[in-house]
């Protein structure tokens, strides 16, 4: 007798055996053990939900969250060096260069030589990029309002400070080590 034959069958096993192999369990009925008490797990699940709506909201512009963040930081800080923008957003250098290449190909961003430093570039929005930003911010605002509507304005207001603290928590640890 195999090990699998001797164990009791779960409802998902029965569902898989009954049809096309896909489990039919209700996700609300799944026991996540300690995961539903782990802030990292909950943050990741929340991020997945928020990004799913973001992708839908920005679909017509074929824009991902990281790209919108880059455009917004450049808009707010014209002339920052590539490394400064990437570091501010926590994007690895190799990934950041590829993202800037894509935004430059789409004529939303341009690289300008940095005076006194031939190895780095200052990032600027192009006229096309700058004219697109009000529309992108409006889409972002509507997307964000869905979150406010889901959790309530007070919870939304109170959520920013602890999330910023968590985001900076391990940055300090890496600086000290």
Domains (range + CATH), the chain = 33-176 (1.10.10.10)
pLDDT, residue 43, reads 93
90-108 pLDDT, tens digit per residue, is: 999 999 999 999 999 999 9
Beta strands in the chain (DSSP E): 109-114, 117-125
Written as six digits, the tokens of 145 are 């309002």
Q: Which helix (H) or strand (E) holds 146?
A: helix 127-151
pLDDT, residue 91, reads 93
7-65 pLDDT, tens digit per residue, is: 333 444 444 444 555 555 677 788 889 998 999 999 999 999 999 999 999 999 999 99
Helix or strand or coil: residue 10? coil
DSSP secondary structure, 132-143, as one string: HHHHHHHHHHHH
* Report for 99-108, 113-122, 157-166: range of highest mean pLDDT: 99-108
pLDDT, residue 88, reads 93
Alpha carbon distance 63, 162 (integer Å):
28
């Amino acid at each position: 007798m195999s090990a699998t034959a001797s164990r009791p069958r779960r409802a998902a096993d029965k569902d898989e055996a009954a049809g096309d192999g896909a489990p039919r369990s209700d996700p609300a009925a799944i026991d996540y053990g300690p995961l539903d008490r782990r802030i990292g797990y909950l943050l990741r699940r929340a991020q997945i939900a928020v990004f799913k709506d973001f992708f839908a909201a920005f679909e017509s512009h074929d824009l991902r969250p990281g790209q919108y963040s880059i455009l917004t930081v450049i808009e707010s800080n014209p002339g920052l060096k590539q490394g400064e923008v990437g570091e501010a957003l926590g994007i690895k250098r190799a990934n950041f260069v590829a993202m800037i290449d894509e935004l430059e190909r789409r004529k939303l961003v341009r690289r300008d030589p940095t005076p006194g430093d031939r190895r780095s570039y200052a990032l600027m929005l192009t006229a096309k990029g700058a004219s697109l930003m009000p529309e992108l911010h409006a889409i972002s605002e509507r997307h964000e309002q869905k979150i406010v509507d889901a959790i309530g304005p007070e919870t939304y207001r109170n959520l920013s400070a602890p999330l910023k603290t968590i985001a900076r928590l391990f940055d300090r640890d890496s600086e000290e080590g």
